[in-house]
Chains A and B, each alone.
Chain A
């Protein structure tokens, strides 16, 4: 067994919140629903990214709630173009910054972060091609997918990131169907397959872990991908006050494992004995129709995925492991 060093923040994060930067760059006044996990997540990503950041936003909840003209919640340069092309727009901005620095039109020593925010629909479905192109070309862009597990902005339609069994308005649970009929697309693994330097999963219920990972992603050169678990009280059918708790339970049950992959090396940043998935599923309206058999199937899948991640962690941390990423 190989000993893997894990950062302490992952465990401290729930308790030591005061360590987070104070500056707010995704500011108050936005129109997000009460208890919005995505808004909470963006706020903390921005705390980590800091002022020298250009934000590219795909069409979706966060774009809509933060920019009803003439108001804006953004204290940094912000651009929204369309639904599926946030990674493409970011690619163009990255190219512009590179050439303008080379020509001395921008200070070559000034680090300017480019951060994309896109929902799961804008990432797993319609924006996947643009994201793949951006990662393959290795642009200096941090792509953050805030995953609220359906098309929430248009009224809770199923996406390929909607979890197995979940009820949405286009995958309704009925007399013969049990909701979403296929497993959630594994976006972090798709990002890992591109050989980019940094991929991580974060959950705003673990804010310091989130901040550390965002900082790491921005430190490393090239493209980075962060998958942000965004609890959606409105779409999932939970009380807003439970949003942070739901995020914590998603991690604690293994439904949403927290890990990072740096230059191909996996590291679980939350690795404790998992709680049964039922604890996470039982208080959400979207899962209330699930039968014990379906819950058992979900439990099996979660256990298998967590075991797979442990294997990956062990295998990629062996002394003889050589990563293609970073060559």
Chain B
């Protein structure tokens, strides 16, 4: 392992190259572009023995990745925002056809108005597509998680696609110190990709048949079980990684949650910013903490209950980076609230939204989020509408 200063996009591309991806099919979109540019360069220089398909759309990017994956090649793609929205149809089919494609998703807001900057509206739009979905909050995590995604998705008991989320620009375009592996170090960590039912002329199989009403429900149930059961493999892979390389990843990460009264629940790069706020405010006597929902799908119900229903935490302020228009306030907030519904000692769940379309969240705005929690606790009332922090009125 060597520690190098590297642009996070390049590190993610290096993680895919470390996994010796065999087919890369990708289409340019900001802020994802540097990732695939770097992979194209590695292929052009003969450093990566792969086929790079310069597709004519993201829809084709995902279609080609799916085809390559089921033909027996390790497939990788990367996109953002509108690109993900365009490929949506095939994103859903890729998980349904059990093709373990890995996608690096540089999170960016959705049009309109068009915005190339960061929030989570793209990934939330794909919430129910059946992919394993994981958030990274810094460059090191993006690198590690991308590499491990192949091992998780390709496991014969999983065979599901995996998307790694990392914030556009905030992470993709920033140079960070990252511990990078040598090939030798990880050689036996990631086994070669072998799909048990690949497109093989010596062993013909039919993929993607018609599911009449007598079979569709059962097919969907199988898919649901598959992603639920993938949790065991996710934990096993992360544990093995921790044992071998010393960096541990958990479905739900905590920061001072054990003795905090109020925690902010985050996803992605805001996590570390919130941790800085907590460090500072703890000096001023505030018993605040941070809980990061790293694993988005499959949703870590038990882990979340264990962390949040610990008798200390009185209020969880959930920071959503996307809006469900006309729906249940925040998307993550409503999931967290319903996950805790049956718990006796559940904390109050409050939803805030901030950082849409690349707007920075300032120190005092994080403080404001905790203060909203304090106010709700004092009034003993969960607010019934979304509170947008940093909104100009």
Interface residues of chain A, those whose CB is within 8 Å of chain B, are 51-54, 56, 63-64, 67-70, 72, 74-82, 84-85, 88-93, 95-100, 102-103, 105-106, 112, 129-130, 132-133, 136-137
| CB atoms of B210 and A88 under 8 A apart | no
B175 within 8 A of A: no
| CB atoms of B215 and A54 under 8 A apart | no
Can you offer 12 A-B residue contacts whose CB atoms are under 8 A?
Answer: A74-B206, A77-B203, A80-B209, A81-B63, A85-B59, A85-B63, A88-B63, A91-B53, A91-B67, A95-B25, A96-B68, A130-B63
| CB atoms of B207 and A103 under 8 A apart | no
| CB atoms of A69 and B207 under 8 A apart | no
For B22, list chain A residues within 8 Å (CB).
96, 99-100, 103
Q: In this complex, which of A69, A92, A133 has the most chain B Cβ atoms within 10 angstroms of its Cβ?
A: A92
Assess A69 versus B215: contact at CB under 8 Å? Given A52-B201, A77-B200, A88-B60.
yes
Assess A89 versus B63: contact at CB under 8 Å? Given A80-B209, A82-B93.
yes
Assess A130 versus B97: contact at CB under 8 Å? Given A90-B67, A105-B72, A137-B53.
no
B369 within 8 A of A: no
| CB atoms of A64 and B210 under 8 A apart | yes
A140 to chain B, nearest CB (A): 12
For B69, list chain A residues within 8 Å (CB).
92, 96
B331 within 8 A of A: no
For A133, list chain B residues within 8 Å (CB).
55-57, 60
| CB atoms of A102 and B49 under 8 A apart | yes
For A56, list chain B residues within 8 Å (CB).
67
For A105, list chain B residues within 8 Å (CB).
72
Interface of B is mostly: mixed
Q: Closest 5 interchain pairs by CB?
A: A92-B67, A92-B64, A133-B56, A88-B63, A96-B73
Q: How far is the CA of A202 from the CA of B357 in the complex (A)?
A: 53
Closest to A86 in B: B63
| CB atoms of B56 and A129 under 8 A apart | yes
| CB atoms of B206 and A95 under 8 A apart | no
Assess A92 versus B66: contact at CB under 8 Å? Given A54-B71, A81-B97.
yes
Given A81-B208, A88-B67, 15 extra CB contacts under 8 A? A56-B67, A88-B59, A88-B60, A89-B67, A92-B25, A92-B64, A92-B68, A93-B70, A93-B199, A95-B53, A95-B64, A96-B69, A98-B51, A105-B72, A130-B57
| CB atoms of A89 and B210 under 8 A apart | no
B246 within 8 A of A: no
Partner of A82 from B75, B90, B201, B212 at Cβ < 8 Å = B90
B54 within 8 A of A: yes
Q: How far is the CA of A102 from the CA of B46 in the complex (A)?
A: 13
Assess A137 versus B54: contact at CB under 8 Å? Given A74-B204, A96-B73, A103-B22.
yes
Assess A96 versus B71: contact at CB under 8 Å? Given A77-B204, A91-B55.
yes
Q: How far is the CA of A93 from the CA of B90 in the complex (A)?
A: 16
| CB atoms of B64 and A54 under 8 A apart | no
B79 to chain A, nearest CB (A): 14
B116 within 8 A of A: no
Partner of A67 from B65, B67, B72, B209 at Cβ < 8 Å = B209
Closest to B61 in A: A88
Closest to A71 in B: B209
B225 within 8 A of A: no
| CB atoms of B208 and A92 under 8 A apart | no
Q: How far is the CA of A28 from the CA of B44 in the complex (A)?
A: 47
For A76, list chain B residues within 8 Å (CB).
201, 204
For B59, list chain A residues within 8 Å (CB).
84-85, 88, 130
Q: How far is the CA of A102 from the CA of B22 in the complex (A)?
A: 10
Q: How far is the CA of A128 from the CA of B203 in the complex (A)?
A: 31
For A84, list chain B residues within 8 Å (CB).
59
B70 to chain A, nearest CB (A): 6
B23 within 8 A of A: yes
Assess A93 versus B68: contact at CB under 8 Å? Given A72-B206, A82-B93.
yes
For B25, list chain A residues within 8 Å (CB).
91-92, 95
Closest to A79 in B: B207
For A75, list chain B residues within 8 Å (CB).
204
For A52, list chain B residues within 8 Å (CB).
201
A110 to chain B, nearest CB (A): 8
| CB atoms of B204 and A85 under 8 A apart | no
| CB atoms of A79 and B70 under 8 A apart | yes
Closest to B194 in A: A105
B331 to chain A, nearest CB (A): 26
Q: How far is the CA of A188 from the CA of B72 in the complex (A)?
A: 32
| CB atoms of B209 and A88 under 8 A apart | no
For A51, list chain B residues within 8 Å (CB).
201
Q: In this complex, which of A78, A99, A129, A130 has the most chain B Cβ atoms within 10 angstroms of its Cβ?
A: A99
For A132, list chain B residues within 8 Å (CB).
56
| CB atoms of B60 and A68 under 8 A apart | no
B47 within 8 A of A: no
Assess A92 versus B75: contact at CB under 8 Å? Given A54-B199, A76-B204, A130-B60.
yes
Q: How far is the CA of A253 from the CA of B386 in the complex (A)?
A: 68
| CB atoms of A92 and B201 under 8 A apart | no
B89 within 8 A of A: yes
A290 to chain B, nearest CB (A): 36
| CB atoms of B72 and A69 under 8 A apart | no
| CB atoms of A69 and B212 under 8 A apart | yes
B45 within 8 A of A: no
